[in-house]
Structure formats: structure tokens, C-alpha cells
Structure 1
Amino acid sequence: MSCEENNLLVSRQGAVATLTLNRLERRNALDAALTRALLQALEQVDQDAGVRLVVLTGAGDRAFCAGGDLAADLAAGQDVRATLALYADLLQRMHTLGTPLLARVAGYCLGGGLGLALACDLVLASEDAVFGTPEVRAGMFPMIIAPLLVAHLGPKRAREMIFCARRIDAGEARELGLVNRVAAAGRLDELVAEVSADILAGSPTALSIGRRALARSAHLGGRQDAEELINELLEVLASEDAREGIQAFLQKRRPQWKGR
């Protein structure tokens, strides 16, 4: 198993494949190239009968994934709609994968990064992990991951997290059902190894068939639903508030909203 992109590190130890987001300078934020690399790696995993578990993590301890890197995509001349569709495809592919997915979360897990974690079957976090959806503070909205948030939190708590741009620690994330287990400082890899062994002790056939059955029973929306969400997000991104929010974020100041 290999990956052409240096921004995604792919390793294999026994039956466990580890995918490491490797954009340290951007806190492992997702750009189009990294999203494509993840899709490619998941396709390879799905075709490898020897892989029975995928661990998704971020390089370093500062961030699992700080969200989407639209600024980098725009600078590279990427089409915004295509980038958003690519991310929606990634979440859908994670949803239909026949191999269990485990998120190893240290540091920031925000926006699109939170969507990645929630698309995994289990989320294991270090006690210093921080989860949140800061998009509205930058004039945007976490449109594509909203269904995942509602599925995990329920409508009221999901709205609070999104509308108030709340950031929560690992302990609260566990209480809310976003995280399965929390590791003490320096013990996250130990916890990942322990839970991985528990998963690998089960029947590969039962886990593969059962995961796909669970995916069919959970309505997280298909491509048509994703297209509608993308259209709505593009409408938000075209607003003056979105431009102001992005500029304010880059200039490290409070945005001056115009309401249009």
C-alpha cells in the first residue's frame, strides 16, 4: 500500500493501516490534494483483504485536523464547488467502507476535521483534544457536516454547537457522545492499541458485513443531499459577510458583519 501525496502518510502494521494527515504547517487542514489522497488511500484499503482496521490521525500533537483549507484551494485556483463535492465524496466513502475506521484525535479537531472524526466508527481522544465548529465566526457554515452533528448530538445540541461556535474539551465531547474514550496525557497510543486489539479479535467477515449494514440503516444523506448542502454553502460563501469573516480571520481581528 502506498500513497503518492506527501501530505498523507500511509503505513501498515499487521492488519492495521494508519492514515496520517501530514500538513503540520496548516494544522493538518484539508485541501483538495489531501482530500483526494484520502479517497485514494481508502480505495486501496477497501481492495486489500489483509487490512482489517484503519486508524485515521494527524501528524504531531497540535491538531488532528483544523478543518477545511479553502484559502489554500483558492490560491491554487481550485474550483470551490469541486472541492466541496470532493469532501462530501470522502465522507460518503468513509460511510460505505467495509473496514472499521478509528479516529485517533490529539489537539484541535475543528469543522471539516470534526466531520472526518465523526465519519469514523470510534473516536479516541487525548485529554487535550478540542472539538468545535467555528465556521459562523468566519462568515461560513458547517453545511456538509451538519447532518453528522445532528446524528450524534441531536438537533438542539447540534444547533448550539454550530450557532455559538462552541469549542468543547475531550471530557465534554465524551459526555455528548462525540468521543468514545479519552486517554490521559501520553497514553493515547496505548489506548489506540488496546481498542485496536479488541476490534481485531472479532470476526473480519462479521465486522465487514455488519459495518455496511449499519451504514445502510443510518440515513446520513446521499450525493443528492450533499449537492443541496453544497449549493447552500456556496450561497453563504458568496456573501459579503463571508468575505469579511475570512479577511478578519486572516487579519486576526473581530469581523464587522453587514448581514448580506
Structure 2
Amino acid sequence: MADELLRERKGQTLWLTLNRPEVHNALNAVLAKHMVEAFEDGSADTTLRTVVLTGAGERSFCSGADLKENSGGIFRAADGGNPIAAVLRAIEACNKPVIARINGSVLAGGMGLVAACDLAYAADHAKFSLPEVRVGLFPMMVAARLTTQIPRRHLQEMAYLGETIDATTARQYGLVNGIAPADVLDTVVADVLDRLAQNSPDAIAAGKRALREMRNMAEGDILTFAERKIAELADTPDAHEGRQAFAEKRKPRWAE
């Protein structure tokens, strides 16, 4: 059996490819476990700057949970947790920016992967759908993330009707940052990776953690939290280097 998750390092970027194209890169318990491990390993690797998540082939990014393969296991593991929820948490906990390279259709739990990623860019032929209600389910975990990303009316329409939207509409909803023809998508992703590489990795990691923590705070506590965090960040080596480089009109040399 081919590896269900492909890992490839390209420079300072870890590429993770869902490799089950015969079932539209659907998630089973084994694949979910490998994904959690890959994101944890990527987060611990100090030589990496970014992670890209994509799917094998051109038809599908991810169709969500594999309903034909031990569906009970993908919805509830032996420890009582949910394997897909564990993947979403691993993406969000990764201290590197995670970019979704959406090569094809995104359904159900695949939408959760996109929502968990920090940035998302899609081929213009990609389709997006929350069809769970058509098989007696509901996108519970996906909705838990999408409620903060797209307007509630749009989310409810997608979740209740189970219908499909195109890439242009997905961008209008705020599901993706940008769309491009399939043959240009890699160029778009490469440009994003280049621009990320110019910025402080420590600042990005701190910012990602802070944004995650802010999501669960009461509105009145957010500014106080941010006030404390910017003071801490201002004393880091990258912040000192960034200010010095600005004053000297040169590119900053970030600590490795």
C-alpha cells in the first residue's frame, strides 16, 4: 500500500500530501494519525519555516471522513476522541504557518482542514461543500472553526442545504485567500512562501499562538492580553534585529 501521507521537504518548507486519490483523499484513522505526527514533527523542527498541505491528483483536495472504511473509527477513536479533531488541533498548534494548497474539491471534513490552515489558495476549478446532512450527519467540528471565518448566513446555507459553491464564491465568503488557474497555483503558493520567508519566524509563531488564544477570550480581555504580548515580543532578538535593520535601511537577518 502506498503511503497515505507523503512528506517532502523543499528548502525550509515541509510539503504534506494526502495520498488517497482513489477515494478523493478521504480521511481515515491511519491517515489522521500520520497527519498529527507530521504536524507535530514539523512544529518541532527549528529548521523549517512553513508547511504546505495539499492533496494528490487534480480532482480532490480532501472529501472528508472516509465513510466506507470503518466509519465508526474515524468519528470516535478508542480513547473517545475524534481523529479528525486531533488533526485540526495539530494544524492549529503547529508553530509554523500552514498553507492549504487546494488542488481540487473540498468536502465535509476537508473544509475543516482548510479552516484550520492559516492561509488557503485554491485552483479555480475547486468546489466546496458541506454535504453531511445528506448522509444523516452535520458538520459539527467544521462549523466550530468556520463560525469565525465566514458569515453565519453563508455557513448555515452551506450546512443545511448541503449544496456546492465554486472557488470564486469561496473567496467571496472568506474561505480562501486567493484562487488561480491550476497551472498557476504552484506559482502563487511559491510567491506566498517567499514573502513569508522575508518575515520574522519568531514573530509569526508568537502571533499564531496569540490569535489562537484570543479566539477563546472574552472581548474585554483581548486588548489586555495583546498589550502584554506585544511588550514581551518587543524584547525578543528578532524584534531588536528588525528595528535595527529598519534604522539601517537593510534587510533583517533573522535568528535561525
TM-score by length of 1: 0.79
SS at structure 2 position matched to 1:6: coil
Aligned to 2:199: 202
Q: Deviations over 1:142-197 (max 9, x none)?
A: 11111112111132221111001121111110011001011123111111101111
Aligned to 1:10: 7
Aligned to 2:54: 57
Aligned to 2:187: 190
Distance (whole Å) between structure 1 residues aligned to residue 73 and residue 179 of structure 2: 37
Q: Deviations over 1:107-141 (max 9, x none)?
A: 11110011001100111000001011011111111
Aligned to 1:173: 170
Distance (whole Å) between structure 1 residues aligned to residue 94 and residue 214 of structure 2: 14
Aligned to 2:65: 68
Aligned to 1:82: 77
Deviation at 1:80, TM superposition (A): 4.0
- Same amino acid, percent of matched pairs: 41
Are the structure 2 counterparts of residues 69 and 49 from structure 1 closer, same or farther at C-alpha, using a change threshold of 3 Å? same
Gaps (5+ residues) in structure 2?
218-256
Distance (whole Å) between structure 2 residues aligned to residue 111 and residue 80 of structure 1: 13
- The partner residue of 2:34 within 16, 21, 37 is 37
Are the structure 2 counterparts of residues 214 and 79 from structure 1 closer, same or farther at C-alpha, using a change threshold of 3 Å? closer
Aligned to 1:253: none
SS at structure 1 position matched to 2:147: helix
Aligned to 1:157: 154
1:116 equivalent to 2:113? Answer yes
How many residue pairs match? The answer is: 215
Aligned to 1:104: 101
Q: Deviations over 1:198-239 (max 9, x none)?
A: 11111111111111111111239xxxxxxxxxxxxxxxxxxx
SS at structure 2 position matched to 1:95: helix
91-100 or 59-68, larger mean C-alpha shift: 91-100
Amino acid at match of 1:128: H
SS at structure 2 position matched to 1:102: strand
Distance (whole Å) between structure 1 residues aligned to residue 3 and residue 216 of structure 2: 34
Distance (whole Å) between structure 1 residues aligned to residue 58 and residue 14 of structure 2: 20
User: How do 1:219-230 residues align onto structure 2 when only pairs under 5 Å count?
Assistant: 219=216
TM-score by length of 2: 0.80
Runs of 4+ in structure 1 deviating by more than 3 angstroms, as ranges, are: 77-80
SS at structure 2 position matched to 1:171: helix
Amino acid at match of 1:166: E
SS at structure 2 position matched to 1:18: strand
Deviation at 1:69, TM superposition (A): 0.5
Q: Deviations over 1:24-78 (max 9, x none)?
A: 111100000000000010111011001110000000101000111032124xx83
Task: State which structure, 1 or 2, has the greater radius of gyration over its C-alpha atoms.
Answer: 2
Aligned to 2:223: none
Q: Which has the higher contact order (CA 8 A, sep 6+)?
A: 1
Q: Do the aligned partners of 1:5 and 1:37 also contact (CA within 8 Å) in 2?
A: no
